[in-house]
A and B are shown apart, each in its own frame.
Chain A
Amino acid sequence: MKNLILLLLFFYLLFIFQTSFLAHFPLKGYIINLLLIVTFLFNILEAPEKNKGIFAAGIVGFFWDIFSEKFIGYHILILVILALLIKTILVRYVRIKIFQRA
């Protein structure tokens, strides 16, 4: 539960940083989506059998829905499905030790 609260707080602050600070630094018109990068890294670097990455995807999706015009659930669904997909690919097809160490 403590981990979950820490994750929530971390992504909440990251979201405010992304929407209010990073918005001023577009690279050729595009703004880096730090949240998507962190979510992907979370899921790729974590041991495939663990579930924190899926939680992280859900939390990012929730805040993304809060800070966008979409209904609550839209980005949660997309990101959780993506996280599950990454996990499935890592478990079934990837055999590199670095991914199994964490």
Chain B
Amino acid sequence: MKIRQLPGSNIKLILVEFLLPDMRFNFLKNKFLLLIIAILVVFFLNSYREGFYQKKIKNFFYSLSLPLQENFWRAGIKISDFFKTISDINNLKKQNEELKLKNQELLSKIADLENLKKENEILRNALGLGLEKEFNLVMVKVIGKDISRDVIEISKGLKDGISKDLPVITSQKVLIGRISEVYDNFSRIMLISDKNSSFSAKISGSEVSGAIKGKGNFNIFLDFVPKEEEILPDETVITSALGGTFPEGLLVGKIKEIKKSDIEPFQQAEISPFLNINELDQLFVIVNF
């Protein structure tokens, strides 16, 4: 078995080549030597040029599996949609009526907003202000999800101008998460529901603000809302500019349940996120904001 020689690693690779023919399934005979080699290889992969080869290996496997992963991801969306339709069929009539009512309500709101928009434009022109800068976006495709964390993988990386900590949204301006790791041809996004995710947010249309924290398994909650502030179920939560992690006004979710306690200085609220794993196909990375 021939193995390519990597620069600066002669000894380790020669040992691997020497052991392989005799290993097969009786490798436990050489377990001590094997353990030392394994530790050396792991140490080398992690320490040499800050994990340079490790990143290359991961990038290689991702590039190799990209077409398969894309197809599996799409098939997953289609099949889960199919099952969802079957399970939702009983509620469709009720939902339809509710949506019709909501549609009428929204149409009247749109008319009001159109008037406000015109008014706003006139005022902006009068004050000499330019329109807000649009985001610079890079479109990406989702290819997989981490097994143990709320982290998803996308098909673009360093070569496409993506860097760490950039926000990721859907076409409806729903916040998905931020880039947590970048490789040459792919990246990982830490979803807002990941346990390590935390950012500032506020209630849409008011100045009540707090912090959104991930609970894992696609669940999030709003924390650090002062007790004296009133928050209500079904209110929409959006990102705030505080902290500078995300641009202001991106959609996060709706308040589901409010939790108040006499001993806690702050109140909490369970949030029903707009983020839905079955609707994540094409996303947008905000390159500058």
Interface residues of A (CB under 8 A from B): 1, 3-4, 12, 16-26, 29-31, 33, 35, 50-52, 54-55, 64, 66-69, 71-73, 76
- Tell me which residues across on chain B come within 8 A of A4, comparing CB atoms: 24
- CB-based nearest A residue for B43: A73
**Does B181 have its Cβ within 8 Å of any Cβ on chain A?**
yes
B176 shortest CB reach to chain A, Å: 14
Residues A18 and B147 in contact, CB atoms below 8 Å apart = yes
B146 shortest CB reach to chain A, Å: 6
Q: When A and B form their complex, which 8 residue pairs have the shortest distance between CB atoms, in order from nearest?
A: A73-B42, A20-B72, A29-B217, A24-B76, A23-B145, A19-B144, A24-B80, A21-B76
Q: A20-B143, A21-B73 are in contact. Are A71 and B42 (CB under 8 A)?
A: yes
Find residues 3-56 in chain B having any chain A CB closer than 8 Å to their own CB: 24-28, 38, 41-42, 45-46, 51, 54
Residues B38 and A73 in contact, CB atoms below 8 Å apart = yes
Residues A73 and B45 in contact, CB atoms below 8 Å apart = yes
- CB-based nearest A residue for B73: A20
- Tell me which residues across on chain A come within 8 A of B153, comparing CB atoms: 19, 67
Residues B80 and A71 in contact, CB atoms below 8 Å apart = no
Residues B25 and A20 in contact, CB atoms below 8 Å apart = no
- CB-based nearest B residue for A50: B25
- Tell me which residues across on chain B come within 8 A of A16, comparing CB atoms: 65, 68-69, 72, 144
Residues B143 and A69 in contact, CB atoms below 8 Å apart = no
- CB-based nearest A residue for B146: A68
Interface residue from B25, B46, B54, B278 paired with A51 (Cβ < 8 Å): B25
Interface residues of B (CB under 8 A from A): 24-28, 38, 41-42, 45-46, 51, 54, 57-58, 61, 65, 68-70, 72-73, 75-77, 79-80, 143-149, 151-153, 180-181, 188, 217-219, 277-278
- Tell me which residues across on chain B come within 8 A of A23, comparing CB atoms: 73, 76, 144-145, 152, 277
Give the total number of A-B pairs whose CB atoms are below 8 A apart: 102
Report the Cα distance A55→B57, complex, angstroms. Answer: 20
Residues B80 and A25 in contact, CB atoms below 8 Å apart = yes
9 pairs of residues in contact across A and B, judged by CB atoms under 8 Å: A12-B65, A21-B76, A23-B144, A23-B145, A24-B79, A55-B25, A67-B144, A69-B180, A73-B45
Residues B147 and A64 in contact, CB atoms below 8 Å apart = yes
Q: A51-B27, A69-B188 are in contact. Are A19 and B147 (CB under 8 A)?
A: yes
- Tell me which residues across on chain A come within 8 A of B57, comparing CB atoms: 66, 72
Report the Cα distance A18→B146, complex, angstroms. Answer: 9
Residues B77 and A24 in contact, CB atoms below 8 Å apart = yes
Report the Cα distance A51→B24, complex, angstroms. Answer: 10
Interface residue from B54, B70, B76, B217 paired with A71 (Cβ < 8 Å): B54
- CB-based nearest A residue for B84: A24
Residues A17 and B144 in contact, CB atoms below 8 Å apart = no
Q: A19-B69, A24-B79, A26-B217 are in contact. Are A67 and B143 (CB under 8 A)?
A: no
